[in-house]
Amino acid sequence: MTTQPIQKEKLFVNGEWIEAKDYSSLVSPYSGKILAQIPLATIDDVNRAVQAAESTRETLRKMPAHARASILEKMVKLFEERFQEAAEIIALEAGKPIATAKGEVSRTIQTYKFAAEEAKRIHGETIPLDAAPGGENRIAYTVREPLGVVAAITPFNFPMNLVAHKVGPAIAAGNPVVLKPASQTPLSSFFLAKIAEDAGLPKGALNVVTGKGSVVGDALVTHDLVKMVTFTGSPAVGIGLRNKAGLKKVTLELGSNSAVIVDQGVPLDKVISRSVTGAFAYQGQVCISLQRIYVHENLYEEFIEKFVEATRKLNLGDPLDEATDVSALISPGDKERVLNWIQEAVQQGAEIAIGGETTGNILQPTVLLNVPAESKVSCQEAFAPVVLINKISSVQEAISYVNDSQFGLQAGVYTENIHTALDAADQLQVGGVLINDIPTFRVDHMPYGGVKESGTGREGIKYAIEEMTELKLVIFNRN
């Protein structure tokens, strides 16, 4: 049997594929096998990438909207042609079950399509200056101008689509990008760079620099030529980099401990299958993964029974197997962390309804009951296949539990009562409220983002473009 040589990747700077001084091994979360050698960019490499981006700034700024849209459309076509390859890269480096990885590639395609469309719709408005005394005989309008170099720093969990949520709107708006992907998922970004190159994106408009967050990320966040940092990742890193970013624009898409509330009188069948998917898809490593379920006491026992039954049917295994629902967590350290958190909850009085152990290197989907609010599995972000189901006597009571959180990304409420739904929409302290659905819902053009430690700013192409452009006012004096 011949063994394949390990691929040595290169940095993508100014349209060139360049070697680095040092490399690190990229290891599959599931098999532990080495997948590739990844370049570790130095601060000099980062400076070169930022300089390359800056030097293409005017080219992009002057490029007509239809030309930017056309490049994005070509990228869409190339992603469609290389669909299977893209999904396998995600499955291998992120340990994402292939069926879910294919879903991510489909969404990536959607995201670049929306970006191509939105590139043609970036405009300002006319302002009636004569509404103010002294404003007579003036014509005023606004335009939206690209900001300049955008630093995009991305997490491991959606290595293609969350990168698309930064690169797509940046190109649509005419901004060059320096992309620093998560160390565990760089291959998706190199794949994107090849696609962008083939689609005819000008040299320097997209640069990919891999390496340690604390080195590469930090160098980007503090670089004078970087005009915006768009970050998706953990609250600790996001808050830290915002504190260093000075006057740069900063968008932060951070974590959460998302919840759903199930009111009395709700037919449970649809709720159960949606909730099981929301809790365990991609091992719970989704920013809006369902972590807390609050069920009305009238339905509590029935809900637990059905939820546990559906959880038992999930298939654990290799991410490349089409039948797999749940695979390995991103690192052995994360598995240990979550096992400790489960233990802590049990010591504090919680009960394990199913799971709580490992099968090989996979943490079993775990359902916990009666979890105290102060347990880490409740009040912190688990980012694992762990969900709690607690009993409530009213939706109002559950709203207070949902709001008693440092996070506020999305929340769901199942209810048959329109007044309850409207009250919940009004009172929940989150970026998005979903009535009759779980919080784990996103399509790629909706405004998406959180409050509190879940972040600041919105993504969803049109909204990201607003963040990535500066409003300029022009006034003609006819006096």
Round to whole Å and give the CA distance between 114 and 329.
31
If the CB atoms of residues 155 and 174 are measured against ligand NAP, the closer one turns out to be 155
Q: Tell me the window of 73-81, 153-161, 310-318, 356-364 that interacts with ligand NAP (CB under 6 A).
A: 153-161
- Could you tell me how far CA 221 lies from the centroid of its own chain? 19
- List, edge to edge, every strand of the sheet that includes 432-435: 351-354, 366-369, 386-392, 292-296, 259-262, 410-414, 432-435
190 binds ligand NAP (CB under 6 A): no
For residue 433, the tally of other CB atoms under 10 A from its CB is 18
Among 212, 270, 312, 472, binds ligand NAP (CB under 6 A): 212
In the residue annotation, 453 being an active-site residue is answered as: no
Q: Tell me the window of 169-177, 251-259, 292-300, 346-354 that interacts with ligand NAP (CB under 6 A).
A: 251-259
Q: What backbone torsions phi and psi does residue 48 show, to the nearest 5 degrees?
A: -65, -40
If the CB atoms of residues 217 and 365 are measured against ligand NAP, the closer one turns out to be 217
In the residue annotation, 287 being an active-site residue is answered as: yes
Give residues 381-410 in contact with ligand NAP (rule: CB under 6 A).
Answer: 381, 383, 409
154 binds ligand NAP (CB under 6 A): yes
218 binds ligand NAP (CB under 6 A): yes
Round to whole Å and give the CA distance between 173 and 470.
10
Angle at 146 between CA 142 and CA 150, to 5 degrees: 145
User: Which residues 6+ apart lie within 8 Å of 87 measured at CB?
Assistant: 98, 101, 102, 104, 105
If the CB atoms of residues 124 and 240 are measured against ligand NAP, the closer one turns out to be 240
Among 182, 259, 261, 368, binds ligand NAP (CB under 6 A): 182
Could you say which of 104, 118, 287, 459 is catalytic? 287
Round to whole Å and give the CA distance between 15 and 193.
9
Could you say which of 9, 253, 381, 467 is catalytic? 253
Task: Using CB under 6 A, count the residues that bind ligand NAP.
Answer: 31
153 binds ligand NAP (CB under 6 A): yes
If the CB atoms of residues 93 and 263 are measured against ligand NAP, the closer one turns out to be 93
Give the single-character DSSP code of 236. H
Decide if 352 contacts 342 (C-beta within 8 A): yes
95 binds ligand NAP (CB under 6 A): no
Round to whole Å and give the CA distance between 151 and 230.
6
Q: Which residues bind ligand NAP (CB under 6 A)?
A: 153-158, 162, 180-183, 212-214, 217-218, 221, 232-234, 237, 240-241, 253-255, 287, 381, 383, 409, 455
| Residues belonging to the active site | 253, 287
